[in-house]
A and B are shown apart, each in its own frame.
Chain A
Amino acid sequence: DIQMTQSPSSLSASVGDRVTITCRTSQSITSYLNWYHQKPGKAPKLLIYAASILQSGVPSRFSGSGSGTDFTLTISSLQPEDFATYYCQQSYSTPFTFGPGTKVDIK
């Protein structure tokens, strides 16, 4: 199975901050990397797929980059509605593992 790591596991930031979350996989997944965020009591929401393609309806302050084993999610200017837990997920081979999550909260 492909192992996923994320860093940091949590971070505190202010509205307007630039935030970067990294995701690393145990083997190459080319660009089969997706990013979601989840708020308490809600289903996850897809933000980025194929490492860098913005899902329809997702604000352009979100961006993704990377390929192979190293990936990054960037929020260019954090907004109040962005405080949530962020997960990366590989869809290269089953089981389609998720990263452990990065909790973004208010400083």
Chain B
Amino acid sequence: EVQLVESGGGLVQPGGSLRLSCAASGFTFSSYWMSWVRQAPGKGLEWVANIKQDGSEEYYVDSVKGRFTISRDDAKNSLYLQMNSLRAEDTAVYYCARQGRQWLAYSYWGQGTLVTVSS
């Protein structure tokens, strides 16, 4: 059974940093692009970033470029999101998701981890 379990969320002050983790199991992690998607309270879904199987390519939404870094450790079946210079507008539930191979849809999602940026 495919499982994605996020951790690392919490309360952080504006300008602070946080590192999210996503532990994957039930599939060959190294064979898939992986992504982060977020959802601000009461709002819609926002795609944040993705990373290629070997970590050689990364893409980001403009609003997080230069502040967030996606990475992976295939030996640990884990995906990460390093978030620096956090702003109030980064407050959201962050989901990790597995990207499909052909049509790139997200058929597997974690349960999400809440990040709150507030003083």
Contacts and interface: CB of A to CB of B under 8 A. Distances in A.
A71 interface: no
B105 interface: yes
B58 to A, nearest CB: 10
Contact of B59 (A43, A85, A94): A94
Nearest to A46: B107
Q: Output the residue of A36, A43, A85 with the most chain B CB within 10 A.
A: A43
A46 B62 contact: no
A55 B107 contact: yes
A87 interface: yes
A80 interface: no
Contacts, number: 68
Contact of A97 (B47, B50, B100): B47
B60 A95 contact: yes
A34 B61 contact: no
A100 to B, nearest CB: 5
Interface residues of A, number: 26
A29 B115 CA distance: 32
A53 B100 CA distance: 13
Contacts of B107: 46, 49, 55
B111 interface: yes
B45 A87 contact: yes
Interface in B45-99: 45-47, 50, 59-62, 95, 99
Nearest to B96: A43
A20 to B, nearest CB: 20
A100 B45 CA distance: 8
Contacts of A101: 44-45
A44 B35 CA distance: 14
10 contacts: A1-B62, A31-B103, A38-B45, A43-B110, A43-B112, A44-B95, A49-B100, A50-B103, A91-B103, A98-B46
Interface of B: 35, 37, 44-47, 50, 59-62, 95, 99-100, 102-107, 109-112
